[in-house]
Amino acid sequence: MNCGYVALIGRPNVGKSTLMNHLLKQKISITSRKPQTTRHRILGINTTDAGQAIYMDTPGMHADQKKALNRQLNRTADSTLMGVNVVVWLIDRLEWHEYDEVIFEKLKLAGLPVILAVNKVDRIEDKDRVLEFFAAAQERYPFEAILPISALKRIHLEELESEIMGLLPDGDLIYPEDQITDRPERFLVAEIIREKLTRRLGAELPYELTVEIEKYEELPNVTKIYAVILTERTSQKSIIIGENGEMLKSVGTDARKDIERLIGAKVYLQLWVKVKKGWSDNERALQSLGFQD
- Helical spans, DSSP H, in 36-126: 68-79, 100-110
Work out the end-to-end distance of the chain between its first and last CA atoms, rounded to an integer number of angstroms. Answer: 29
What is the pairing mode between strands 145-148 and 209-218? unpaired
Asked if 117 contacts 7 with a C-beta cutoff of 8 angstroms, the reply is no
**Phi, psi (deg, nearest 5) at residue 228:** -115, 130
Long-range contact list for 247-256, CB < 8 A, 24+ apart? 247/200, 248/273, 250/200, 251/193, 251/196, 251/197, 251/200, 254/196, 255/192, 255/193, 255/195, 255/196
Closest CA to 53 of 157, 146, 145, 150: 157
Question: What pLDDT does 255 receive?
Answer: 96
- Is CATH 3.30.1360.30 the classification given to domain 185-288? no
Structure confidence at residue 264 (pLDDT): 92
Please return the burial class of 102, using the count of CB atoms within 10 Å of its CB with bins 0-12, 13-18 and 19+: middle
Buried b (16+ CB within 10 A) or exposed e, 117-144: bbbbbeeeeeeeebeebbeebeeeeebe
Query: What's the CA gap between 84 and 41, in Å, rounded?
Result: 13
DSSP 158: H
Q: Which residues contact 111 (CB under 8 A, 6 or more apart)?
A: none
Residues of the chain under the 70 pLDDT cut = 32-39, 60-66, 68-70, 72-74, 76-78, 202-207, 282, 285-293
Long-range own/partner contacts, residues 255-261 (CB < 8 A, 24 or more apart): 255/192, 255/193, 255/195, 255/196, 258/192, 258/195, 258/196, 259/189, 259/192, 259/225
Q: In this predicted structure, what is the pLDDT of residue 69?
A: 67
Domain with CATH 3.30.300.20 in the chain: 185-288
What's 186's DSSP letter? H
Q: Are 225 and 255 in contact (CB under 8 A)?
A: no
Q: Partners of 265 in the beta sheet?
A: none
Q: Where in the chain is the domain with CATH 3.40.50.300?
A: 2-167
pLDDT of residue 122: 86
Q: Which CATH architecture has domain 2-167?
A: 3-Layer(aba) Sandwich (3.40)
| Confidence (pTM) | 0.84
pLDDT of residue 290: 64
Please check whether residue 203 is in contact with residue 34, taking contact to mean a CB–CB distance below 8 angstroms. Answer: yes
Mutual angle of helices 246-263 and 185-200, in 10-degree steps: 140
Nearest Cα neighbor of 117 from 8, 193, 223 is 8
* Secondary structure (3-state) at 2: strand
